[in-house]
Structure 1
Amino acid sequence: MIESNLTESTLKVRVYYEDTDAGGVVFYANYLKFLERARTEWLRELGVEQSALAVQEGRMFVVHSLDMTYRKPARLDDFITIRSRITRVGRASIHFEQRAERDGELLAHGNIQVCCVDAAQLRPAALPAIVRTKLESLQE
């Protein structure tokens, strides 16, 4: 379930066995999947369907760079919250700050830069105007 307001979105995620390593701790790379789901659901909530964007506008989003810090482990059956906010909208990029929390306790924190690319050439391309307008209205 996603909840959003003008500046932040939250997505609740249950940790399943498939998300963990042999010790029952969330495998570090799986946090990236949780963050991706949160960004995608937030865009969907805003009316930005990525599959439609690729077909209608010839645009796709790809992760350009990220910086992650892991503080505490999440474990099997935990219910975690992914908090997302947009920190910058560029000509062809969106910068997100995202946090994974359990009961308000910080588990992991990341800054992710997502770039808009031409779907056919996979080269940087300007954000479609409608997407830019929606995203710029979310910045603090």
Structure 2
Amino acid sequence: MTTDSSNASGDLTIRVYYEDTDTGGVVYYANYLKFFERGRTEWLRALGVDQHTLAVQEQMMFVVRHAEIAYRQAAHLDDQIRIHTDVTDIRASTLVFSQQAWRGTELLSTATVQVCVVHAVSFKPIRLSTSLRDLLNKALH
């Protein structure tokens, strides 16, 4: 899978490659989790949040705590897929994302992903910084 484009609206467009599929040319189910991970990463990047810098400078990392995914339609080799990402809830040390995978107007998959903020060294949960919380709250849908 490669990233073709992204924008601040929470959309990331990708192309399905052979490595993303099973022998039948259908996207392997677990790869949607990778697609959604890239969507969250690009969503944060569009807000100005670089996760590597966050880990190094603020000792703060995001880790998935819980994920629910539903599959509706299969994606295939060479399909162009749009991953849409929204943050739906912000708590002291967790974020909840709502994500969808689309092929044109056809919904392929949906996911709700809860992400926990942890200390980059100890991996213990920590609170979001005020500046990061304020930035994320502006994007809350």
Q: Which stretch shows the higher mean deviation, 122-131 or 15-24?
A: 122-131
State the SS of the aligned residue for 1:51: helix
- Post-superposition offset of 1:92: 0.5
Q: Which one-letter code corresponds to 2:15 in the other structure?
A: R
Q: CA deviation at 1:74?
A: 0.1
Structure 2 residue 104 is the aligned partner of structure 1 residue 100: no
Q: Which amino acid aligns with 1:64?
A: R
- Give the aligned partner of residue 65 of structure 1: 66
- Separation of aligned partners in 2, 1:128 and 1:49: 15
Aligned to 1:4: 8
| TM-score normalised to structure 1 length | 0.95
Q: Which residue of 1 aligns with 2:114?
A: 113
CA distance in 1, matches of 2:129, 2:50: 13
Letter in 2 for 1:18: E
Q: Distance in 1 between matches of 2:97 and 2:89?
A: 7
- Structure 2, gaps ≥5 residues long: none
Q: TM-score, normalised by structure 2?
A: 0.95
Quick one: distance in 2 between partners of 1:106 and 1:130? 34
**Shift >3 Å, 4+ stretches:** none
User: Residue type matched to 1:125 in 2?
Assistant: I
C-alpha distance in 2, partners of 1:36/1:113?
12
Q: Percent identity, aligned pairs only?
A: 48
DSSP-derived class of the 1:131 partner: helix
2:8 maps to a residue whose letter is: S
| CA distance in structure 1 between the partners assigned to 2:61 and 2:134 by the alignment | 17
**Residue 3 of structure 1: how far off its partner (Å):** 2.0
Q: Is the 8 A contact 2:8 2:47 kept in 1?
A: no
Unpaired segments ≥5 residues, structure 1: none
Alpha-carbon RMSD across the aligned residues, in angstroms, is: 0.8
How many equivalent residue pairs?
A: 137
Matches within 5 A, 1:16-55: 16-55=17-56
**Structure 2 counterpart of 1:121, one-letter code:** S
Secondary structure at the counterpart of residue 49 of structure 2: coil
